[in-house]
């Protein structure tokens, strides 16, 4: 629900007058077997309160015990982000009251994160931006509250809430950037590219599903504007509920416009937390905060420090997969894409999808063609990321195989995609149901050719006379007669044979 | 003389010899509880049915020739700070009234695995905050020596139960003296083990870096037996030390031979002076003389940072407990008080906590919240953690000169119920001698040093040893105890509870 | 060392989610100040070169393996819940936002 009209300044004008600064906080939910501080299963979904124990329920007397795998994953993420790994660090309690937090404190890390001072390079339209990473630290997730009684299912207006603690205690790694400056007009794209690159990196490590739509990767977008050329940082707003890459871009864009609207009217931006709305790309104010939360951090007394030996860190460094940038160079060479083709594929966030499609048997160019044209078009129409478009790489490869085998042509293939998007089943089922297969038998084609020739006898004369191009009209007639389910090249060939 | 007047070691020997059954023993203690606890109020919950069933199982095992442990079948009481599955666990607070834990603490598990019937849960100052058990939301426990007086705290229930022969063994917890000081007040033995040597899993936390469970008994040997049972590494407690807990019983037995030749004992300079009542010091001096007679070399040792121990303690503890007690918000368990209208969760939390917590708890939560607040962390909590370092260093230096340190356990004998209740600072001063050990993690024992010549009430003497050297406490404690018992003709007992026909 | 005013005590009680009555505030504030005065004595005792100790026995790297350990059933988890619905803990309407 949007608040009463924010004044939004046109994007170009924002850039004329202001320099944006961004800070991105990404939470990654690890895919460990168990929770951060107890042996409960760390699984998505499941019947409520079935994955709980005294520790993650915060029962009196219970104590935490650190998951070794989570520490390992945290170090690997830090290394992949070119961070320094702490020689010695501790967990700390972040104290505040909220019903989804069983202890009313979160066991996290405060001034001693396990990884710090790193960077990640991202490319936007040919320009490279080095995003500096302030820190990556370990913490635990909260339970999940559903709000009952309000009209929107959101917290405002709810009568009461129901809490499921299955998620409480699942390991999270929080990655915080330093202020991202000097991005100018590309700010929204840089933000999106960073989150995308981070997602690739974490996915390649195999430590998380990084599904923004499922909450295993969450992004908070901080934005502020400073007067152009003045330096310094303006007051920032924090936007939460940013659940896709598109939303990251849109949130940055919207906040830039909104901040500018306030500042140009002579007002001051409120330092607050805002909520992003998928439906219209706007943000709205969260609940008013009476004063800044005082989290009263202190070292967690029930846990001892984590001091990863340098040997262990080097062992883990050796397990890092190919950095995404290097991988892209390799793939481009393997696939034979031009720089432009590769860049388009990267911008469309299609690299993984193309790779999977190729692995499923399609030629790289064919994979590229389908993902970047047909499927991209439909994803844009539906307002979703490519990966959420409703078609799998295996299905794309299957369709291409059918084209290669002569069962489909491009036009029919598009109708198969229609069916896939509509969820009508597998390509084979759709072809069957809709009767889309190309006519494979020459018999019906010859019959149709006879009919067409009979209907246009002068064309037949032209063809016999050596004007092969005239055959096009016959081909057209045959295609019409077969409702497009003829292989045009084969029809052409048959016509020529027939008339020679 | 009833079985209840025997020591735990004697009861165990009798079980082994077939002279008595666990059911008989357990019933005898249940009878004593029934006869005396109306007045004494040492117990918050008595599980007669459960204890007798456990006793019967013990007898079956013994008949089959397979007891689980030397103490199998000897009844025990547990301070209500440790979770016991199926038995109410309140930590002495209204906010947990009726709470039945769904899990056993590790020490509970060990006790059950050894076959000791659990008589029930004993009274305590609310959330272990106090030195008199007057802060219990369920009413105070009375001192077996004088029902108008406090038994000490926070573990007054366990000490009184043992002192009044309601149980031969009890579990207590010690954060700043809550096992040792009640021991001194009631003429019983109490031990705070090396920090980390007994699991805290299942202990409702007061100050995580200070808390430790320990034995409450009538003799040093009994404490050694119980201490060895409950000690040891626990993977569920990340602060638990890897070392095994052994050699304590041997040390106690060896100590009873009263040869302390070669032992260097240090009297702590800072734990002497005007704050210490003359009658307490009188008994203390006599014990020192006995130690010397037994061959100990007694010197004076100064630990200068002790003067700051109280201040550091009363910042560290509230800071940790303000965070520990945040979980009691009436959302998942505990007593929920819902004000009229349609209150928010925040309002219900506030009202429930105000109603469920007593004054001392509120005081410490507020002080702790303050000590951790932004702007104050370095000055308060941060400083206190540094004082802690100084105290640890003082202990290390002292233990280079001596093997054990010694002091009176508490500055006075038991005072009247209500006398200090509205003066928190006066109450805090009771812990002068005991607090430093918790700050440094070193083990300490309090044994009875005789009754006061002024009021006939018990006094206690405390020994401290380096970390992981708990055995030294049992050696010197057993030696002194043996010498004192000889002087007294046996252990000192409160007149109202003395076995008929005893001195 | 500053004394705590009644307002400050009220603020701290708010942070700690305790609803102190006026009578309680009257009663507690002076007691708190007496205690705070006595702990003020440690100001400046330990110099900047003295490290803080949070654990009396130093240990590091205590971890557990990433292996599932059976926990509680929903019935056990909810047994003490003041209110529940559909196997979830029921709590009154929450005013604040998630952090």
Query: Cis peptide leading into A260, omega within 30 of 0?
Result: no
Spell out which residues of chain B touch residue C4, defining contact as CB-CB under 8 Å: 370
Tell whether the torsion through CA atoms of A465, A470, A472 and A473 is positive or negative. negative
Which H or E run includes A161? strand A160-164
Q: Measure CA of the first residue to CA of the last residue in chain A; give whole Å.
A: 71
Report d(CA B102, CA C72) in Å as an integer: 8
Selected for mutation to probe chain B from C10, C39, C61, C62 (highest B CB count within 10 Å) is: C39
8 Å CB contact between B145 and B108: no
Asked if the model's pLDDT at residue B184 lies above 90, the reply is yes
CB contact under 8 A, B440 and C56: yes
Tell me if chain C has a CB within 8 Å of the CB of A52.
yes
Say whether residue C57 is in contact with chain A using an 8 A CB cutoff.
no
Element (H, E) at B255: helix B248-255
Q: Which of B236, B124, B104, B202 is nearest to B170 (CA)?
A: B124
pTM beyond 0.90: the answer is: no
Distance from CA of C34 to the nearest CA of A (A): 23
The residue among A61, A106, A163 with the most chain B CBs within 10 A of its CB, best to mutate, is: A61
Contacts of A104 in chain B (CB under 8 A): 326-327, 329
Chain B contact set for C72 (CB, 8 A): 102-103
Instruction: Give the C-alpha separation, A237 to A227, whole Å.
Output: 16
Cβ-based contacts of C82 with chain B (< 8 Å): 330-331, 333-336
Distance in Å, alpha carbon of A209 to nearest chain C alpha carbon: 17
Residues 62-81 of C with CB under 8 A from A: 62-69, 71-74, 77-78
A295 to chain C, closest Cα gap in Å = 9
Do the bridges between strand C84-85 and strand B458-464 make them parallel or antiparallel, or are there none, so unpaired? unpaired
- Least confident window among A423-432, B10-19, B59-68, B219-228: A423-432
Whether A301 and B208 lie within 8 Å, measured CB to CB: yes
Report CB contact under 8 Å: A287, C91.
Answer: no
Instruction: Tell me whether A54 touches chain B (CB under 8 Å).
Output: yes
Q: Do A58 and B205 touch (CB under 8 A)?
A: no
Q: Could you say which DSSP state residue B381 is in? A: I
Handedness of CA B308, B309, B311, B315 (dihedral sign): positive
pLDDT at B503: 42
pLDDT in tens, B469-487: 999 999 999 999 999 999 9
B102 and C31 in contact by Cβ < 8 A? no
Structure confidence by residue, pLDDT tens digits, A44-85: 779 999 999 999 999 999 999 999 999 999 999 999 999 999
User: Could you report the per-residue pLDDT of A235-268, keeping only the tens digit for each?
Assistant: 999 999 899 999 999 999 999 999 999 999 999 9
Q: In 3D, which of A405, A411, A404, A409 has the Cα closest to residue A363? A: A404
Per residue in B258-284, pLDDT tens?
999 999 999 999 999 988 999 999 999
Contact C66 A305 (CB under 8 A): no
Higher-confidence residue: C25 or A83?
A83
Among A95, A97, A303, the residue with its CB nearest the CB of B349 is: A97
For all residues of chain B together, what is the average pLDDT? 96
The pLDDT confidence band at residue B1, using thresholds 50, 70 and 90, is low
Chain B residues near residue C89 by CB distance under 8 angstroms: 331-332
Residue in A66, A97, A302 nearest the CB of B208: A302
Cα gap B175→B206, rounded to integer Å: 8
- The percent of residues above 90 in pLDDT, for chain A, comes to 65
Could you give the strand order of the β-sheet that contains C88-92, starting from the edge strand earlier in sequence?
A: A144-148, A160-164, C88-92, C84-85
| Residue-level pLDDT at A375 | 92
Reported confidence tier of residue B502, pLDDT bands at 50, 70, 90: very low
CA dist., res. B58 & res. B116, Å (int):
8
Other chains touching A, judged by 3 or more CB pairs under 8 Å = B, C
Most confident of A252-256, A382-386, A480-484: A252-256
Taking only Cα atoms into account, the Rg of chain B, rounded to an integer number of angstroms, comes to: 21
Residues of C in contact with B367 (CB under 8 A): 32, 35-36
pLDDT tens, residue by residue, B327-341: 999 999 999 999 999
Higher pLDDT residue, C69 or C26?
C69
d(CA B166, CA C53): 40
Q: Is the reported ipTM for this assembly greater than 0.90?
A: yes
Contact (Cβ atoms closer than 8 angstroms) between residue B177 and residue B125: no
Burial of A392 (0-12, 13-18, 19+ CB in 10 A): middle
Q: Which residue in this structure is represented by tokens 């170090």? A: A75
Query: What number of C-beta contacts closer than 8 Å exist between A and B?
Result: 99
Q: According to the model, what pLDDT value does residue B111 have? A: 98
Q: How far is CA B392 from the centre of its chain?
A: 22
**How far, in Å, CA of B252 to CA of B7, rounded?**
14
Average of per-residue pLDDT across B373-385? 86
- Give one word for B463, left, alpha or beta, with left for phi > 0 and alpha for psi -120 to 50: beta
- Mark residue A269 as left, alpha or beta (left: phi above 0; alpha: psi -120 to 50; beta: remaining): beta
pLDDT digits (tens, 9 = 90+) for A162-201: 999 999 999 999 999 999 999 999 999 999 999 999 999 9
**Residue B281 dihedral angles phi and psi, to the nearest 5°:** -65, -35
Question: Kind of pairing, strands B212-217 and B264-268?
Answer: unpaired
Show which of residues 52-91 on chain C sit within 8 Å of chain B, judged by CB atoms.
52-57, 59, 62, 64, 72, 76-77, 79-83, 89, 91
CA B384/CA B313 separation, integer angstroms: 7
Q: Is B100 on the interface with C (CB under 8 A)?
A: yes
Q: Does B66 touch chain A (CB under 8 A)?
A: no
pLDDT bucket at C2, cuts 50 / 70 / 90: low
Are the C-beta atoms of B456 and B283 separated by less than 8 Å?
A: no
Measured distance CA(C65)–CA(A445) in Å, rounded = 68
What's the whole-number average pLDDT of chain A? 91
Cβ within 8 Å, pair B326-A163: no
Sign of the CA dihedral running B229, B233, B239, B241: positive
CB–CB of A49/C78 below 8 Å? yes
Chain C hits for A296, CB-CB cut-off 8 Å, are 15
Q: What residues contact A256, with CB distance under 8 A and at least 6 apart?
A: A11, A14, A18, A20, A187, A188, A223, A225
Taking each helix axis as running N to C, give the angle between helix B48-63 and helix B8-16, from 0 to 180 degrees, rounded to the nearest 10.
50
Whose tokens are 């191009």? That residue is: A469
C chain contacts of residue B386, beta-carbon cutoff 8 Å: 45-46, 50-53
Question: What pLDDT sits at residue B270?
Answer: 96
Strand partners, B43: B122
Q: Three-class SS string for A172-220?
A: EEEEEECCECCCHHHHHHHHHHHHHHHHHHHHHHCCCCCCCCCCCEEEE
B173 contacts: CB under 8 Å, gap ≥ 6: B79, B81, B82, B128, B154, B155, B179, B203, B206, B211, B212, B213, B214
Distance from the B346 Cα atom to the nearest Cα atom in chain C, whole angstroms: 7
Average pLDDT over residues A292-306: 92
| Residue that is written with structure tokens 């950037």 in the block | A177
Q: Which of B214, B217, B171, B224 lies closest to B193 in space, CA to CA?
A: B214
For chain C, say whether B275 makes contact (Cβ under 8 Å): no
The answer to which of A16-20, A48-52, A359-363, A430-434 has the lowest mean pLDDT is A430-434
pLDDT average, residue stretch B219-234: 98
**Catalytic residue ranges of B:** 79, 154, 178
- What's residue A364's pLDDT? 95
Amino acid C30: pLDDT: 83
Q: Residue A427: enclosing H or E segment and its boundaries?
A: helix A427-434
Q: Does B328 touch chain C (CB under 8 A)?
A: no
Taking alpha carbons only, the member of B359, B353, B357 closest to residue B339 is B353
Mean pLDDT across A95-105: 96
Q: Which of residues 100-129 of A touch B (CB under 8 A)?
A: 102-105
Contact between A166 and A50 under an 8 Å Cβ cutoff? The reply is yes
């Amino acid at each position: 629900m949007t608040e009463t009209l924010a004044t939004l300044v046109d994007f170009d004008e924002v850039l004329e007058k202001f320099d944006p600064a961004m800070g991105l906080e990404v939470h990654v939910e690890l895919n460990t077997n168990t929770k951060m501080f107890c042996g409960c299963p760390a699984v998505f979904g499941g019947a409520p309160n079935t994955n709980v124990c005294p520790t993650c329920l915060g029962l009196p007397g219970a104590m935490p015990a650190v998951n070794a795998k989570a520490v390992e994953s945290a170090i690997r993420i830090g290394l992949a982000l070119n961070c320094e790994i702490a020689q010695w660090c501790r967990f700390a309690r972040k104290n505040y009251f909220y019903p989804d937090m069983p202890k009313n404190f979160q066991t996290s890390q405060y001034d001693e994160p396990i990884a710090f001072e790193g960077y990640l390079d991202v490319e936007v339209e040919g320009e490279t931006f080095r995003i500096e990473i302030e820190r990556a630290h370990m913490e635990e997730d909260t339970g999940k509250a559903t709000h009952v009684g309000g009209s929107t299912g959101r917290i405002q207006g709810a009568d009461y809430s129901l809490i499921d603690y299955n998620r409480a205690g699942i390991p999270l790694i929080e990655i915080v950037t330093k202020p991202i400056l000097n991005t100018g007009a590309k700010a929204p794209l840089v933000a999106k590219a960073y989150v995308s690159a981070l997602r690739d990196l974490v996915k390649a490590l195999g430590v998380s599903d990084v599904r923004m739509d499922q909450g295993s990767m969450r992004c908070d977008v901080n934005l502020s504007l400073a007067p152009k050329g003045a330096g310094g940082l303006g007051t920032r707003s924090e936007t939460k509920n940013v659940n896709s890459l598109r939303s990251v871009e849109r949130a940055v864009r919207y906040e830039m416009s909104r901040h500018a609207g306030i500042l140009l009217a002579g007002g001051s931006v409120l330092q607050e937390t805002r909520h992003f709305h998928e439906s219209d790309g706007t943000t709205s104010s969260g609940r008013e905060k009476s004063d800044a939360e005082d989290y009263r951090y202190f070292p967690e007394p029930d846990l001892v420090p984590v001091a990863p030996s340098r040997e262990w860190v080097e062992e883990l460094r050796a397990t890092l997969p190919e950095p995404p940038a290097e991988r892209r160079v390799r793939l481009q060479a393997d696939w034979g894409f031009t720089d432009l083709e590769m860049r388009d594929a990267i911008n469309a966030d299609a690299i993984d999808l193309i790779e999977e499609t190729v692995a499923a048997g399609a030629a790289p160019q064919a994979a590229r063609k389908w993902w970047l044209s047909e499927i991209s078009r439909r994803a844009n129409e539906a307002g979703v990321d490519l990966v959420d478009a409703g078609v799998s790489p295996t299905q794309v490869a299957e369709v291409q195989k059918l084209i290669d085998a002569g069962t489909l042509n491009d036009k029919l293939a598009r109708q198969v995609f229609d069916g896939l998007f509509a969820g009508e089943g597998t390509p084979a089922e759709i072809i069957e149901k809709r009767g889309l297969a190309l006519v494979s038998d020459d018999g019906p084609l010859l019959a149709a050719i006879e009919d067409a020739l009979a209907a246009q006898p002068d064309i037949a004369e032209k063809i016999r006379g050596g004007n092969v191009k005239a055959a096009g009209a016959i081909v057209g007639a045959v295609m019409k007669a077969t409702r497009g389910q003829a292989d045009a090249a084969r029809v052409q060939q048959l016509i020529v044979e027939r008339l020679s | 003389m009833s079985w209840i007047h025997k020591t735990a070691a004697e009861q165990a020997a009798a079980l082994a010899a077939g002279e008595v059954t666990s059911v008989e023993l357990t019933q005898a203690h249940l009878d004593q509880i029934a006869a005396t606890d109306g007045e004494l109020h040492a117990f918050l919950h008595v599980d007669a049915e459960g204890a007798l069933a456990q006793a019967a199982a013990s007898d079956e095992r013994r008949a089959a020739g397979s007891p689980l442990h030397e103490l199998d079948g000897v009844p025990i009481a547990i301070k209500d700070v440790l979770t016991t599955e199926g038995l109410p666990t309140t930590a002495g607070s209204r906010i947990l009234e009726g709470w039945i834990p769904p899990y056993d603490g590790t020490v509970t598990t060990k006790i059950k695995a050894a076959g000791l019937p659990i008589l029930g849960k004993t009274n305590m100052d609310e959330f272990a905050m106090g030195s008199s058990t007057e802060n219990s939301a369920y009413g105070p426990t009375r001192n077996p020596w004088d029902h108008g007086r406090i038994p000490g705290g926070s573990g007054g229930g366990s000490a009184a139960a043992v002192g009044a022969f309601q149980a031969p063994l009890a579990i207590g917890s010690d954060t700043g003296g809550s096992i040792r000081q009640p021991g001194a007040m009631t003429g019983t033995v109490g031990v705070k083990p090396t920090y980390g040597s007994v699991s805290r899993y299942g202990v409702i936390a007061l100050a995580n870096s200070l808390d430790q469970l320990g034995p409450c008994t009538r003799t040093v040997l009994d404490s050694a037996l119980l201490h060895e049972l409950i000690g040891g590494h626990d993977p569920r407690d990340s602060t638990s030390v890897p070392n095994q807990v052994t050699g304590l019983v041997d040390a106690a037995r060896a100590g009873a031979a009263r040869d302390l030749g070669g032992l260097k004992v240090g009297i702590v300079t800072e734990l002497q002076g005007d704050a210490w009542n003359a009658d307490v010091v009188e008994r203390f001096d006599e014990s020192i003389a006995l130690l010397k007679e037994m061959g100990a070399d007694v010197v004076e040792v100064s630990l200068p940072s002790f003067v700051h121990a109280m201040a550091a303690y009363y910042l560290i503890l509230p800071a940790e407990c303000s965070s520990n007690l945040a979980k009691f918000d009436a959302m998942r368990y505990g007593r929920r008080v819902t004000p009229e209208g349609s209150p928010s969760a925040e309002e219900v939390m506030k009202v429930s906590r105000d109603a469920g917590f007593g004054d001392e708890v509120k005081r410490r939560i507020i002080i702790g919240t303050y000590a951790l607040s932004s702007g104050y962390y370095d000055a308060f909590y941060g400083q206190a953690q540094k004082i802690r370092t100084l105290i640890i260093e003082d202990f290390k230096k002292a233990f280079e000169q001596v093997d054990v340190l010694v002091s009176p356990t508490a500055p006075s004998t038991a005072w009247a119920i209500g006398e200090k209740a509205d003066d928190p600072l006066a109450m805090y001063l009771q812990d002068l001698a005991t607090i430093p050990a918790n700050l440094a993690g070193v083990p300490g024992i309090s044994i009875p040093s005789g009754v006061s010549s002024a009021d006939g009430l018990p006094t206690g003497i405390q020994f401290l040893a380096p970390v992981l050297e708990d055995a030294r406490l049992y050696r010197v404690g057993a030696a002194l105890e043996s010498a004192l018992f000889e002087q007294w003709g046996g252990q000192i007992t409160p007149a109202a509870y003395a076995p008929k026909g005893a001195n | 060392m500053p004394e705590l005013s009644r307002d400050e005590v009220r603020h701290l009680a708010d942070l700690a989610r305790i609803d102190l009555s006026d009578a309680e505030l009257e009663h507690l504030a002076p007691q708190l100040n007496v205690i705070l005065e006595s702990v003020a004595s440690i100001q400046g005792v330990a110099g900047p070169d003295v490290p803080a100790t949070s654990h009396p026995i130093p240990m590091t790297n205590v971890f557990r393996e990433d292996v599932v350990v059976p926990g509680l059933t929903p019935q056990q988890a909810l047994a003490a819940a003041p209110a529940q619905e559909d196997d979830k803990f029921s709590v009154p309407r929450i005013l604040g936002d998630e952090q």
